Amino acid sequence: MLGGAGLLLATSPAQAADTSYKTECIPPAVSGLPPVEGTTVVQLTAPAEAKVGDTVEVVWKTVEAASKNPDMLDLDKDTVKPTGTIKVGGAATGTLQMEGPRQNPPIPKNSAMVLPDMKGTLKLEKAGEITLTPDAYNINVSKPISTDTKCSPKETVKTGATIKVTDGGGATTGGGTTSGSTAGGTTSGSTTSGSTTAGGTTSGSGGGRTDFPGKEVAVHFTCTSPGPADISSKVTINAKKSGGSYALTVKTAKGVMDSPAALPAGALKPSMDVVIAGADKGSVKVTGPANAEPLEQGKPVDLSDMTGTYKPGASGKSTLSPGTLTIDVTLGASKINIPCKVKGSVTPSLELDTTAQQGGASGSTTSGSTGTAGSSAGGTDSGGGLAATGAEGTGTLHALGLVAGTAILLGGAVFTFTPWRRLRGTR
């Protein structure tokens, strides 16, 4: 198997052992349900021995999830997708991001959660013994909209697998590679849509490089009415260097929300404030084109890729993180502006070695299309310090009142939108 960082090798028989640990799972914020505590049983499979330079596959099998599917709603076939994190220790340190397919049998009410196996690849860059320890994991349910239940250990977890790495020459630093990114190190490949990356930041330095792919990070947004109460999505920030500036491309996961009403082509347009921290401070606005095809009511919406230009205002290591996501809906003279702010902390998607440019960010909010300085963003961490974005046309928003019904389960939430009456009337 050809992995993102090279030929995937298994140079010795794989080892597998069960690891159990107490776990707390947090249902989606809209549920109002308390955390669920239980025991997670994980079986990690990895080669017992390998050589420096090898790329090995690690498999996470969830023998038992921390809780059953509550007695509320049946889960359909192929609607459940798990992702998880493995702590890498010993000769290498960092985190290895695991991902499973959206593949499951129908899961009836009050029955065990059946999760598909998760996989990740680890590039071995230093001789010694590497330990793999299962950590937090996330359960995503795709229907009727994408929702997440986050599960994390409530006790110290025992090592699930160990790899003995023999000296074969090569690099002197350890790390894990998943879908082209190295844990605790630098990028060694590209990031593709839907993939996950190992922990740490993606570092962009000189040496003639122009492409700097970011890592995919999970972000939870809280939106202003009449938008959806919450949006959970994976976000990736990629950069391409041109002179002293960087062309940014921000990608979100597919199907981030359901269309609240039937909308014509060109009605829905996304934008985002990318937060700059570290040596440089501020934010850069990136925008995406409107929907090219009509949107059906209740069907998942894929937001277009958002682009803009980042001109550094300081020299040193600067991080780029997802900030406020704004969804604009325009129908004739009516315009709805829905800001969705980042809830909680978020891991930076990209780290760049920047060189200050005249007129660069340096504590300001800049437009990705023009690069001109705007109001201060405060230069705080992911999503913080950004000025609140007010909705335009308050009377219109009240007239477009959104009625939501919520039915929540551990694996995800059912968030049902009723049609936006004014939108339907305009059409």
Dig out the tokens for 322 from the structure.
Answer: 């997802």
Determine the Cα angle at 128 with ends 126 and 133, to 5°.
95
**Looking at residue 167, what is its pLDDT?**
87
- The answer to whether the predicted template modeling score (pTM) of the entire model surpasses 0.85 is no
- pLDDT, tens digit, 9 for 90 and up, residues 261-277: 788 999 999 999 999 99
Dig out the tokens for 150 from the structure.
Answer: 């986050």
- pLDDT, tens digit, 9 for 90 and up, residues 13-31: 566 678 999 999 987 765 5
Partners of residue 366 on adjacent β-strands: 284, 373
**Residue where the block lists tokens 């930076």:** 348
Cα end-to-end span (Å), the chain: 51
CATH class of 2-178: mainly beta
Give the number of other Cβ atoms within 10 Å of residue 178's Cβ. 30
Nearest to 205 by CA among 355, 332, 314, 391: 355
> Mean pLDDT throughout 47-67?
92
- pLDDT, tens digit, 9 for 90 and up, residues 410-422: 333 333 333 333 4
**Looking at residue 170, what is its pLDDT?**
40
Distance CA 372, CA 389 (A): 19
Distance CA 290, CA 330 (A): 10
- pLDDT, tens digit, 9 for 90 and up, residues 324-340: 999 998 888 888 888 99
**Looking at residue 186, what is its pLDDT?**
34
Strands, E, within 167-281: which ranges? 177-178, 181-182, 203-204, 211-212, 217-223, 230-242, 245-252, 257-258, 268-278
Whether 191 contacts 238, CB under 8 Å: yes
Residue spans of the domains in the chain: they are 2-178, 204-426
- pLDDT, tens digit, 9 for 90 and up, residues 78-93: 999 999 999 999 988 8
Confidence at 407, pLDDT banded by 50, 70, 90 = very low
